[in-house]
Structure 1
């Protein structure tokens, strides 16, 4: 009971913090960049949005959700795209309302997929594979953003450019090592031995049980290897399409508010926004993402404060806020269909019982 009320209190506090960060966003932007902006100016930017722009953003948002269903159906064979769309919407709504909402999302995933007839093991593998794929691509985004800026010649001097290329290459190399360990047995064994060697250098009291790291990696690789071997292309193309469409939404937000800094800068801003959503102090980094995006647009790329702040809030709406009512609608529809199925099953059983009696 105490843990339950503690979770409720933490959730309420986290949501309140997210709301406060958005409400005081103009002050935060001024603190980070020195630029002055008011809610009146931000509201004026929203008022300039045309219905064509809103329609285009809606289409891109729906297309991004559909693109992600290819990741989900690849990770859980037998899952239909409509089921994946429902599952993603409901899980996102839960995750967006709760700090550390991923755990609640996993519980909801088990409940919904078991209701569709899937066994526990495929669901566990699905959860692992989608989690790994999301993490790998989210980790790659900063490298893509850095490379985009360097290719566009945005580095201030050769030293910064060289450091940027080294950083981007390091990120890509690390992701490649993890991907190889998940895909190939020999690479997994080499990585396990390397981790064991590093752990032996740590003080004894900080070492885990012998071969614990190797066993954990081996278990993870065994659980995910079969799906990754067969479905890696669908998983990757689905993630690329999903992220590209979300980046297109970001570009639309920037263009609509007259704060578009260029294609390379847009990719960098989008990469930062996705990294900031990992901040667990608020659900999905709400409030933190908007402040970081506005600060980068104003401070680094010289965009007008009102337009940049409005674009950050608008992008937050399409990637966070709208998912809550959308997910509630999907969860309600799923619950209603489940009740009807259960009632229909009970109705079929009742005549059989009466006939037996």
Structure 2
């Protein structure tokens, strides 16, 4: 009970912090830039957004949800796209409401997949594979953002540019090494030895190579056969999410340029990892607004863009996920009643 009430208290505090960060976002931006922005100005800017722009954002949001279903269907063979959409929506709703909500989302996903007839082993593999691919692309995104700024010449001097190239290439090389090691046995052995050397240097009491080889053993079949589908699903999912941000920037007049928009998007996805609030809510919006202002956008358009993008990638997922979860529960209950009402002779024939 103590743990339960502690979790509830932490959830309330975390959600409260997220709400406060959003409410006081204009004041936070004023502290950073010295320029005053009012909610009335933000409201007027929201009022100028056309129905066509809203329809475009809605379409891009739906496409991003559809794209991610291919990550899940490739992670769990036999799962269809409608089930994957329901799974993702319900899990996202939980994660967006509860700090450290990943564990609760996994438990909910397990209950849903079990109801569809999947056993624990394929579900564990799906959780591992989708988690690995999300992590890999979460590392890749900052490198892509840095490279975009370097190509566009948005760096103060040559020293910063050299450091940027070094960091971006190092990140990409690391991701490639891990991806290859997941696929290729000899690369896995080399990486395992390297991980052990690092842990010994850091004097960590863990067997990194053993953990990595267990991960490979659990995910090898899916990774080797379905890595193209997994990767394309992530690319299109993130691509549509960037397009949502671009549409928000265009609608509010905060478009900073192609390279800058990619960098801001990459930062936004990194900030969602902040565990202080559910899915980094409030923190992500503050980071997006500050980075847009740094790239030359006006204060009001920058804040409006951050709030609008937060709506499409966080807020709307809560009611949508609730509807998906409610539909799943309703269908499950109806199917249970139908099975209970079916005559014994029909049940026996169906199971033969």
Same fold (TM over 0.5): yes
TM-score (norm 1): 0.95
Tell me the secondary structure at the aligned position of residue 342 of structure 2: helix
| 1:256-267 alignment, distance < 5 Å | 256-267=251-262
| 1:81-160 alignment, distance < 5 Å | 81-160=81-160
* 1:311 aligned residue: 305
Tell me the secondary structure at the aligned position of residue 97 of structure 1: coil
The separation in 1 between residues aligned to 2:197 and 2:215, in whole angstroms, is: 20
Question: How far is 1:288 from its partner?
Answer: 0.3
Question: How far is 1:202 from its partner?
Answer: 4.2
The separation in 2 between residues aligned to 1:83 and 1:331, in whole angstroms, is: 11
Q: Which runs of 5+ in 1 are unaligned?
A: none
Deviation track 1:191-217 (CA, whole Å, cap 9, x = no partner) reads 1112222333344xx423xxx222111
1:232 to 223, 227, 233: 227
Question: How far is 1:107 from its partner?
Answer: 0.4
Count of aligned pairs between the two proteins: 347
The separation in 1 between residues aligned to 2:57 and 2:291, in whole angstroms, is: 22
| 1:169-248 alignment, distance < 5 Å | 169-203=169-203, 206-208=204-206, 212-248=207-243
RMSD between superposed Cα atoms in Å? 1.3
The separation in 1 between residues aligned to 2:49 and 2:265, in whole angstroms, is: 21
The separation in 2 between residues aligned to 1:328 and 1:201, in whole angstroms, is: 47
The separation in 2 between residues aligned to 1:6 and 1:46, in whole angstroms, is: 38
Deviation track 1:92-139 (CA, whole Å, cap 9, x = no partner) reads 000000000111110011000010000100000000000010111011
2:321 to 324, 327, 335: 327
Question: How far is 1:351 from its partner?
Answer: 7.6
Q: 1:324 to 1:162 in 2, by over 3 A?
A: same
Question: How far is 1:36 from its partner?
Answer: 1.8
Deviation track 1:309-350 (CA, whole Å, cap 9, x = no partner) reads 000000000000000000000000000000001001111156
Q: 1:201 to 1:304 in 2, by over 3 A?
A: closer
Question: How far is 1:38 from its partner?
Answer: 1.0
The separation in 2 between residues aligned to 1:213 and 1:137, in whole angstroms, is: 21
The separation in 1 between residues aligned to 2:190 and 2:343, in whole angstroms, is: 57
